[in-house]
Amino acid sequence: MVSKEALSKIRNDVESYVGQEIFVKANVGRNKCIYRRGVIDSIYPNLFVFKENDTSNKLSYSYTDLVTNTLELSLPTGEVITNYDFSTPKYTRL
């Protein structure tokens, strides 16, 4: 389980890119991905709003989508912004 502090860090990371152009890669299941280009419009405690450049549609995504790797944010240069790995457990059982 991801701690509240980790989600807070993710929220702060996403908040630093508000207004900048980014690419979103959303995994919609069965090896299908949707690629979109736009800007992060606004930030809320549990989700953020992404606005597409081409159609001006607004889509909302949860921060947990970034944790579960169903959503990936990247810059136009190709640099991945969100690369979180919470797969290793904090405590191991003996």
Residues 49, 31: Cα–Cα separation, whole Å: 24
Domains, the chain, ordered by start: 4-74 (2.30.30.100)
Please state the rounded mean pLDDT for residues 18-47. 94
Q: What pLDDT does 68 receive?
A: 85
Please write the tens of the pLDDT for every residue from 39-87: 999 999 999 999 999 999 999 999 989 988 899 999 999 999 988 876 6
pLDDT > 70? residue 94? no
Residues 5, 56: Cα–Cα separation, whole Å: 33
Give how far Cα 88 sits from Cα of 2, 53, 60, Å.
11, 37, 28
Please state the rounded mean pLDDT for residues 1-29. 91
pLDDT > 60? residue 92? no
Contact (Cβ atoms closer than 8 angstroms) between residue 64 and residue 71: no
Q: What pLDDT does 2 receive?
A: 75
Does the pTM surpass 0.85? The reply is no
pLDDT > 90? residue 23? yes
